[in-house]
Structures are given as C-alpha cells and as structure tokens.
Amino acid sequence: MAELRIDGLDFTRGDFHLQLPPLRVATGEKLAILGENGSGKSTLLQLLTGLLDGKEQIYYDQQLLGKIPIVERARIFALLPQQAQVIFPFSVFEVVLFGRFAQTDGRSPQENDHVQTRLLIDQLDLTHLAERSFNQLSGGEQRRVMLARALNQQAQILFLDEPNASLDVRHSLDIFEFLKQTTQTVISPVHDINLAANFFERFWLLKNGQLLADVSHDELTSELLSETFDVQVSNTAGNFSFSR
Amino acid sequence: MKPLLFTLLGVAFIIALFSGATAINPFAMSNIEQEILLSLRLPRVLFSAVIGGMLALSGSVYQLTLKNPLADSFTTGTASSAALGAVLGIACGLPVPLVPVLALITGLCGLMMVYRLSISDGVINPVTMILAGVVVNIVASAVISFSKFYFEESLSSIVFWLMGGFFIVDWTRLIVCALLLAISFVLLQRISLQLNLLAFDEASARTMGIDVARLRRFSFVLATLLVAVAVSHTGIIGFVGLITPHVARSLYGSDMKQNLTASTLLGALLLMLADAGARSIIPGGAELPVGIITALLGGVFFLYLLRTRRERLWHG
C-alpha cells in the first residue's frame, strides 16, 4: 500500500508561491483540501502527481516521485483533473476501459478488464450511457465517466480535483458515499465545505500557497474556515453557513 | 473487420489498372498493351496506392497527436516544408538517397514551428494551428517556386512540386516506399493502445501511464518521415491524410488500432482512384497532376468539416 510523504515542497511560478511543511498521508485516509480559488489546490495536485516539476521532495512508499517510472506511477495514483477531455467520438465504455492501461502494463485489455469496467460503469450509474459517444454527453455525465476512468486504474491513491463539479445533488452524494467506502486513499480539493465535512476525515486548509491548518474532522471549526475563506462562518447543528 | 474495404481496394486496383490514355481490353491484349500494363501501369498504380497509404497513415497520426480534426500533412504545412527541403536538396546536387533526409529535417522544422505557435499552456488551439499551417505553406511554396524558376527556369517542375503527381515511377522507389510504409505501420500498430490515450488531455494521459512527450515526439518523427519520403517522390499531394481518417473513424470507430489500418487502406484506395482520374480526364493522353484532384476533393471535405464542427473548433 502507498503512503504519501512530502518532505519539503517549495514551488514558485511567477508571483505565485506554494510552500508546505513536511506532511504524511497514510493509506486509506480521506483528505479534503479546502481553500479559495487560486490558493494552490490544483497546483498542489499537479506537483503531487509529477505533472509539474519543482524542487519538491515527494515520496510514495519511500520512493522519490521523480524516480518512479510513469507507468508505475499510474498504478500508485490516479488523477481526475478539473478539465478532462477526449477528442474524437470514443464510446463511454472505451473511455472507461482506457483506465486499465497501466494495470495491463500496456497490453490489450483482457476479459477480466472488460468485466471490471462493466462493474464500475454500473456502480457509477452509467450503464445506460455505456455505448454513447463521450463527446455527446452533458458536462455532469462526462465528469462521472472521467471519474469512472480514474477509478478503473485501481490505483492506491485517488487525486480527484473537485470530483462533484457540475454533478447534481444525487450523483454528488452517491460519489462521495462511494469514495467514503473505498479502501483507497482519497485526496481531493472540494468546494462544497459541508459536503466535504460530511464525507472526509482530514482537512488541509490552504491560503495563498501556505498550509493554514492540517486538522481532523472534529478540529474543523468555524474560526478556521472563516480565516481560510475571509467570510463569516457559523456552525448550526454540524452545518456550516456562510455570510459576508 | 474489413472485407468490404479489401473488396473496394481490389475493385479500385482493377479500375486504375485499366484506365488511362490507351484503352486496354483485358481479354484480348496485344504484346504492346501487355507491356504498357505490366511495366507502366502496374508499378504506377501500386505506387499511388503506397503513397496514398503513407499520406493517410501520417494524417491519422497527425490528427490524434495534434488533437485537431483538420490536421494532415498539407494543413500543418509539413508537406510543403518537406518539399522545400527536397527541392533545395536537389538544387544543391545532394545525392538522391539523401534528399528525403533533408526533406524530413525541414518537414519537422515546419511542423514544430506550427506546433509551437499553436500551443499555449499545454493546450493546442486548433484555429491557430491551421492559420500557422497556412502561413508555413505559403512561404514554403513561394520559396519552392522561386528556387525552381531561378535554378531551372522551369514552370512545369514548379507544378510538379506544388501539385504533386506520379511522373517518375520505378520499382526501386516503389519498394523503398512500400517497405517504409510497412515498417511504420507495424511500429504504429504496436503502440496503438498508447496512441488512444493521447486523445485525452495531457494531465489525464500522463497519470494514466503514458509518457506523452516521448510518444508525441516519436509519432511526429515517424509521420513526418512518411510525408518527407512521399513528398520527395511525388511532390505535395494534399488532403489525402485529412479525408481518410475521418471516413475511417465514422466507419470503424475511433480506436486507433482500427483507424490506422482503415485510414491506410482508404488512402491507398483514394489515391489509386484519384490517379486513375488524373490519367483519364484530359483527352489525348495528357496527364493532370493528381494533387489537383485531391485538392478539389479535400477542399470540399474541409468545408464540410468546418461547417459541422465550427462550434467545437472555435470553442475548443
């Protein structure tokens, strides 16, 4: 199983500066990253997945990220980027099946890969769309297909950049419930704070590229959120509400 | 999967073999007619098929790696910059086998220029790409025309380079091109699964286990090599690589494993027929450069793509 360890992270691009203290994420943890737009959430994911190169020291099970071959990385972690797209009219089934690439080590998918893909498509309520062309789906449907594609990698860590972006309430709840049940580590920037508070157990609060706090579910207070987002936050019966 | 395609290919082959300035009755051939058929028509028809396959295969790869349904060797400016290299190589008296090498280098330079111009933050703007391709095309064509006229005072050779045609055919050229096509085809087939993942955005593709930069580099070089060699022998024949991957995709789906094969076969089919047309349209034995016919077909097809995909092209 994969433990994520950040020994040092210091990244600069133009005016933007992202700096994190040493951190660890144990196997199976459900970690939400909260912060304003531009606080560094997506950049952090790009650094953790090796899409951006900095002088960072990121280890997966004692292995330095930079030293892990790309196909091996895809078995350790999967990423759902904010702007996922596919050109050409591939079917939903094909798109999800492509997620098996690293698990089959680049060989043609076998019978069990097809079975696994079908299963996932059923679980994410995509059965009726399986033969449709990905490009003809609505934004929310495409998002769920891309999520299925990422899950199909069966990686040990899931980096999901706002997994419920453009999803309706029912599908958002279904997906967070699904992520809560999984044994995989989930690391995910989330915008809906109440939803995050309900389904995640650990929170990184980012502000201007700095880690404001690294807290458990019980330590996530109105004061911290208020500081993170520069708004008034009150907590009534476990639900946060926000005002200017 | 493709019995239909192979049947059509066979039919096109027969049609191409028996069309031309001299009408040949296959059931009562004189010796001269047999001679024409075997030593003139046969290599030419095969050559057009191989070149068609090369251009179509390169088009299939370009459309995927550049993420642009309008990409092919012509619209990216690769063909004309490769032709420029070939023309300069010939003008400088480079040995014949080295001409395609120079064409490859200038072709890659042209392609990289267009690529660099159209990419920002890892996203390729399809409209900028086509514009950049047009510019490279115009400049390269102008230089080709200039050097042909300056060094040879020959207008007909300008036509040859810019319009393309199968005026010089021999078995050696045919075999070299066929070998290159076969090898490239096998190499691309072997990585067809990875090529599929290039259809995803870069972040997804990389975290799915693909070394995107390396794969793209490899594809660019191989596709451009196909174009460079084809152009060195036949001049610029546009749009074969634009049309065929689309037709292949609508017939057999987007999977690159299918698309590479179907595009190649359709390219062979298209260029055999186009060349047959080029040999028979003008009465009295005169030949039309085949590029005129493919440009006509391709231009109309390009318009159709612009109409149907306008929204997606402008808005990504």
Would you say the C-alpha torsion B282, B287, B292, B296 has a positive or negative sign?
A: positive
Is A50 touching B (CB cutoff 8 A)?
A: yes
Per residue in A104-158, pLDDT tens?
988 889 999 999 999 999 999 999 999 999 988 999 999 999 999 999 999 999 9
Q: Which residues of B touch A78 (CB under 8 A)?
A: 207-208
Q: Which pLDDT band holds residue B178 (cuts at 50, 70, 90)?
A: very high
Give the pLDDT mean for B72-100.
90
Taking all residues of chain B, what is their mean pLDDT, rounded to a whole number?
89
- Higher local confidence (pLDDT), B264 or A15: B264
Is B201 touching A (CB cutoff 8 A)?
A: yes
- Paired sense of beta strands A4-13 and A185-189, if any: unpaired
B261: pLDDT strictly greater than 60: yes
Instruction: Output the pLDDT for position B315.
Output: 44
Tell me if A60 sits within 8 A of A2, measured CB to CB: yes
Q: Do A74 and B201 touch (CB under 8 A)?
A: no
Q: Which residues of A touch B203 (CB under 8 A)?
A: 46, 49, 51, 79, 81, 84
Q: Which pLDDT band holds residue B313 (cuts at 50, 70, 90)?
A: low
Tell me if B240 sits within 8 A of B55, measured CB to CB: yes
Instruction: Output the pLDDT for position B316.
Output: 40
Q: Which residues of B touch A74 (CB under 8 A)?
A: 207-209
Would you say the C-alpha torsion B22, B23, B26, B29 has a positive or negative sign?
A: negative
Question: Which ipTM was obtained for this model?
Answer: 0.92
Is A83 touching B (CB cutoff 8 A)?
A: yes
Is A179 touching B (CB cutoff 8 A)?
A: no
Taking all residues of chain A, what is their mean pLDDT, rounded to a whole number?
92
B212 CA: distance to closest CA in chain A (Å): 10
Per residue in A180-196, pLDDT tens?
999 999 999 999 999 99
Residue of B nearest to A99 (CA): B208
Q: Do B200 and A98 touch (CB under 8 A)?
A: yes
B37: pLDDT strictly greater than 50: yes
Per residue in A192-229, pLDDT tens?
999 999 999 999 999 999 999 999 999 999 999 999 99
Instruction: Output the pLDDT for position B175.
Output: 95
Predicted model pTM:
0.91
B284: pLDDT strictly greater than 90: no
Q: Which residues of B touch A101 (CB under 8 A)?
A: 193-194, 197, 208-210
Instruction: Output the pLDDT for position B310.
Output: 63
Is A66 touching B (CB cutoff 8 A)?
A: no
Q: In whole angstroms, give the CA distance from residue A65 to residue A47.
A: 10
Is B213 touching A (CB cutoff 8 A)?
A: no
Is B172 touching A (CB cutoff 8 A)?
A: no
How is B137-164 classified by DSSP, letter by letter? HHHHHHHHHHHHHHHH--HHHHHHHHH-
Q: Which pLDDT band holds residue B312 (cuts at 50, 70, 90)?
A: low
Give the pLDDT mean for B143-150.
87
Give the pLDDT mean for A48-70.
90
Is A240 touching B (CB cutoff 8 A)?
A: no
Instruction: Output the pLDDT for position A90.
Output: 92
Residue of B nearest to A71 (CA): B209
Instruction: Output the pLDDT for position B81.
Output: 96
B9: pLDDT strictly greater than 70: yes
